[in-house]
Amino acid sequence: MNKTTRLTFDFLIIGSGGAGLTSALKLAKLGKVAVLSKREADNSNTTKAQGGIACVMDDKDTYKDHVEDTLVAGAGMCKKNIVKKIIKKGPASLKELIKLGAHFTTRGEMGDDRHCEDYHLGREGGHHKRRVLHAGDITGTEIQDTLLRQCRENENITIFENYAAIDLICSWRLGWLGENYCLGAYALDTNTNKVNTFISSVTVLATGGAGKAYLYTSNPDIACGAGVAMAYRAYAKIVNMEFFQFHPTILYHPDVKSFLISEAVRGEGALLKIKDKRGRLIKFMHRYHEMKSLAPRDIVARAIDNEMKRTGSECVYLDIRSQSEDFLKKRFPNIFSECQKIGLNMAKDPIPVVPAAHYCCGGIKTDENGFTGINGLYAAGEVACNGFHGANRLASNSLLEALCVPKFIYSDVKNKLKEIIADRPSGNIPDWKTGEATDSDELVVISHNWDEIRRFMWDYVGIFRTNKRLERAKARIRNIRKEIEKYYWDFYVTLDLIELRNISTVAEIIIDSALSRKESRGLHFNADYPDKNSKLASVDTEINRPHTF
């Protein structure tokens, strides 16, 4: 049986990636902070990021150019004021991170000039300039390690590892009248199987993505859409979940799981090719976009998917044999090493790749400061949707957003904190209650539902969609969610059950969003509506939980 312990902090951060840890460091200036990490604190989507951070750091680049590339990639769904605000905040945020100890690759380290201390800037799909600051090809790890080290050294921050958030404590969910307030969250300590009640004045959701809703993904196992699902259950607005980005190039090999080949590889000259009937590698991207292999991700992913279906191929290939082995080892040490493990030399062998679910451009609707509309609740990073990415995220803009938005949250909270505390509703917050039954078939049921959801999401709600496919997916998820909800309350809470509940919730939101958008735009392609509808530009697809009181 799950038992409850009550803990009180000024601020609660759910998620330990770049957005969560940056939020913690900023809010620690105002009070005591708790950070919940579902597994170890260094296990996040941030850690997996290879390419880098898109930021104007060169005299040949301008804010205007970066803004324009972002807007073009976003296919008419970006909020221009948000795009400008984040991009202009980029250089200061990067300098602050560097001051905290993060190291990024210099031109001297790349051999351009042995004594040059200027940063080596990469280029990725959709960018017309070199503006991607990187730490080799393990940029995310460098950022995560730097932020985590700073958080561990901060006496105002307590990190709770292996704590899975179950649900937000929301005044409307408790049946309290008046405005909706977030009062904290319930979280399962997976080491002890106890449910703790975390009470806070301000809660920040920074739980990352939802790639595990799909069969094939670049995301780590933790990416189950927890933040979106919890916010939906707390009556927050969820928007634009139909725009799910599929990374075009995941390493295709039976012995390797979910290893991403960075878009920066194409930025350094790799070409996408496919084998013809004679086994020859031929280029194909010139048939799809003027930027060819450096086209935005939505274009590239659909092109690869189409070529694979047209030819019956299991994969396509990234060919960077134009670069020397010495250069590739310096620029992509981690990717080079991983390829070597399966017998591939990037300088001599084309790399087999396929698309996979990668990044959710939709999420919890927030304003420019990360505020969700629920008093005391903010969101940052991939879990949030403020209009920065639009219908398709520009490569390496995500880490930029994760570093900038927490600063906006901090400023907003600082200005509103006295008001938030003064207006906070009073009343007894009940402990978490759940069923006490156990069943030997529990893991079998969870595993079966998990696999079924991920497979039909891939088949019916993936890169290529139709009304019929989406309707099939809707019929299946409706029945599965009914089963999960009943099962959820009959049995005691486990991590597997929490994740299954969240994945099923997010899957249904993605399906409903896709059914609602009667056009093809950005990452959402529906063959029954193959063209853009100009009337739907900048029109969000909004999903709300029906009120039950």
Q: 228-285, pLDDT tens digit by residue?
A: 999 999 999 999 999 999 999 999 998 888 899 998 999 999 999 999 989 999 999 9
**Residue 433: DSSP 8-state:** -
Going by pLDDT thresholds of 50, 70 and 90, the confidence category of residue 503 is: very high
pTM, rounded to two decimals: 0.94
The arithmetic mean of pLDDT across residues 538-548, rounded, is 91
The catalytic position among 297, 465, 469, 517 is 297
Q: State the SS3 of 354-419.
A: EEEEEEECCEEECCCCCECCCECEEECHHHEECCCCCCCCCCCHHHHHHHHHHHHHHHHHHHHHHH
- Cα–Cα distance between 459 and 448 in angstroms, integer? 17
Is 297 an active-site residue?
yes
Q: How far apart are CA 436 and CA 458, in angstroms?
A: 34
Confidence of residue 467 (pLDDT cuts 50, 70, 90): very high
Q: Which residue has the higher pLDDT, 93 or 432?
A: 93
Q: How far apart are CA 492 and CA 487, in angstroms?
A: 9
The pLDDT value recorded for residue 50 is 83
Mean of the per-residue pLDDT values of the chain: 93
pLDDT on residue 319: 98
The 10s digit of each residue's pLDDT in 72-90 is 999 999 999 999 999 999 9
Task: Give the DSSP per-residue string, 506-522.
Answer: HHHHHHHHHHH--S-BT
pLDDT above 70 covers a percentage of the chain that reads: 96
Averaged pLDDT, 120-149: 94
Cα 206-161-432 angle, rounded to 5 deg: 80
Could you tell me the domains of the chain? 51-137 (no CATH), 247-358 (3.90.700.10), 442-543 (1.20.58.100)
As a whole-number percent, the residues of the chain with pLDDT over 90 amount to 84
Cα–Cα distance, 216 to 202 (Å, whole number): 35
Q: Which two tokens mark 22?
A: 């940056």
pLDDT digit string, tens, across residues 282-309: 999 999 999 999 998 889 999 999 999 8
